[in-house]
Amino acid sequence: MSRKLLFRSAIVAALGGLLFGFDTAVISGAEQTLQELYQATYETMASNMDNLGFLGRPGFWHGCTTSSALIGTILGALLASRPSDSLGRRKTLLLLAILYFVSAVGSGIAWGWSSFVISRFIGGLAVGGSSVVGPIYIAEISPAKSRGRLVALMQFNIVFGILLAFLSNYVIGKMKLGGIEWRWMFGVEAVPAAVFFFLLFGNVQSPRWLLTKGRKDKARQILETLGAENVDREIQEIQESIDPEHHTMAEPLFRRKYITPILLAFLIAAFNQLSGINALLYYSTRIFEMAGASADFARLQSVIVGTTNLVFTMLAMVIIDHFGRKKLMLLGSIGYIISLSSVAWAFHTDAGGRMVLLSFLLFIAAHAFGQGAVIWVFISEIFPNRVRAKGQALGSFTHWFMCAAISWTFPMMVGRPGAPGANQAGARVFAFYAGMMVLQLLFVILMMPETKGVPLEAIQKKLGIE
């Protein structure tokens, strides 16, 4: 029963990741339709701000539409630690499920540009919050020997959600629904959001969060229910890491003694997005059309990319607790460098869509096997109990800030498929991403510690934090 409850609670919490992945990727199937739908709005806003530099460019406002959810993720990641620490991990996940539902319905019935952007922003709040609370919750209920695999359920569900979004977009596109096609693409997310909400009522609370609130008896009960090997020792270690005589949950994160985990979280999150992963996910249809594919075939290629992502994420989940976080990051970094360099070369030489597709399949495999599998596990491990929510929020904020910046600027840098110079611009952009992955490789070799199989409280000591 204990093992069954542990896995059930982890799987349900990770459903927030499925919605996370679906919400972030669903825009790829509709972003060019949205550009046509709101082009007049973009041009009006751009003309009103003609003297304000990039604000006077219609491409900026389309980037705003595409990235509206990402602005929400930044704020959601920043704000999530407070309710997570005060209300608890499970209650916060319930609130996030409601936000997902409201966003899906609102995006589907949007009556204008403003209502659509606001609805997507609300969904972004949920995505940002999920990236903070989901990994924390799973890490805090999991034993050290299987923590990597269980937290990686979050990433598995993220990529499964991405694949579902690509597949859903492809199926809806084949239904030829005309002007309401894009509404269905966004609206279908309401169903899994409602399922997520109701399933959460069967989850246990985080025993580590309960101990920070002085609820020792309830924490003991849950640890026993989850099958902890030595409950008394685990409670003692958690209480020592919290150290209520010298620390509180209100303790600020930005202190000298936390500089190592802060730097590690910032760098791994920044490099995650400097790979260009979300440029591919958000603009996959556009990128494949730039390489010469038709709109329908471009959507099908997005499904192929999503399937590759899922397969290699599953492989990484199987070995992450045996192979280790650092080795996965090393292999992923090398794969990034090779694949992104190949994409840049393909666009520079007009090598064609097949070369671009093959390079992106290698890219997405490298991401799923490395950064994708490791990032949320690693950030959830490296901060002490007393500042874990704040540390996870920092990592998530960095991730989503970089994601928003890249997604917002990508359409401005590459232009529309077929536009003069679009492919050469694409070559320069992907060459830049490849260069960033060389720096990530150096980060992994020189700075990143291995956390495989180490109890959360022991990682704190390993990083030199009292």
Give the pLDDT confidence of 340-351 residue by residue, as tens digits: 999 888 878 876
User: Which of 12-21, 361-370, 457-466 has the least mean pLDDT?
Assistant: 457-466
- Range of lowest pLDDT (8-17, 45-54, 371-380): 45-54
| Tally of CA atoms within 13 A in the half-sphere of 277 that contains its CB | 32
Residue type, 72: G
Other Cβ atoms within 10 Å of 197 Cβ, number: 18
What is d(CA 183, CA 169) in angstroms, rounded to the nearest whole number? 11
Structure tokens at 324: 């280790």
- Find the mean pLDDT for residues 442-462: 84
5-373-171-195 Cα dihedral, nearest 10 degrees: 20
Residue 363 near residue 336 (C-beta atoms within 8 A): yes
Least confident of 128-137, 189-198, 420-429: 420-429
Task: Name the band, by pLDDT with cuts 50, 70 and 90, for residue 318.
Answer: confident
What's the Rg (C-alpha) of the chain?
22
The domains of the chain, with CATH numbers, are 2-462 (1.20.1250.20)
Least confident range from 30-34, 395-399, 409-413: namely: 409-413
**For the residues 37-47, what does the mean pLDDT come to?**
70
Confidence band (pLDDT; 50, 70, 90) for 74?
confident
**pLDDT recorded at residue 250:** 62
Which residues have C-beta within 8 Å of that of residue 302, sequence separation ≥ 6?
Answer: 28, 29, 166, 169, 170, 284, 285, 288
133, pLDDT greater than 50: yes
190/106 Cα distance (integer angstroms)? 10
pLDDT class of 201 with cuts at 50, 70, 90: very high
Query: Mean pLDDT throughout 364-392?
Result: 85
Look at the chain and count its residues: 466
pLDDT category at 245 given cuts 50, 70, 90 is: very low
Longest distance between any two alpha carbons in the chain, whole Å: 68
**Which residue type is seen at 126?**
A
- Choose from 64-78, 120-134, 294-308 the range with maximum mean pLDDT: 120-134
The percentage of the chain sitting over the pLDDT mark of 90, rounded to a whole number, equals 20
Q: What is the pLDDT of residue 274?
A: 92
Give the pLDDT confidence score for residue 411 in this predicted structure. Answer: 67
Q: State the DSSP code for 351.
A: -
Asked if pLDDT for residue 244 goes beyond 60, the answer is: no
199: left (phi over 0), alpha (psi -120 to 50) or beta: alpha
Which residue would you say has higher pLDDT here, 13 or 318? 13
CB 138 within 8 A of CB 151: yes
CA–CA separation, 402 and 274 (whole Å): 7
The pTM for the full model equals 0.75
pLDDT of residue 64: 74
Residue at 121: amino acid letter:
F
How far apart CA 406 and CA 275 sit, in angstroms, is 10
Q: What mean pLDDT is predicted for residues 54-75?
A: 72
Average pLDDT, the chain: 81
> Using one digit for the tens of pLDDT, what is the confidence trace for 266-316?
999 999 999 988 777 666 666 666 666 665 666 676 677 778 878 888 888
Report the pLDDT value the prediction gives residue 166, as an integer from 0 to 100. Answer: 80
Q: pLDDT confidence of 246, banded at 50, 70, 90?
A: very low
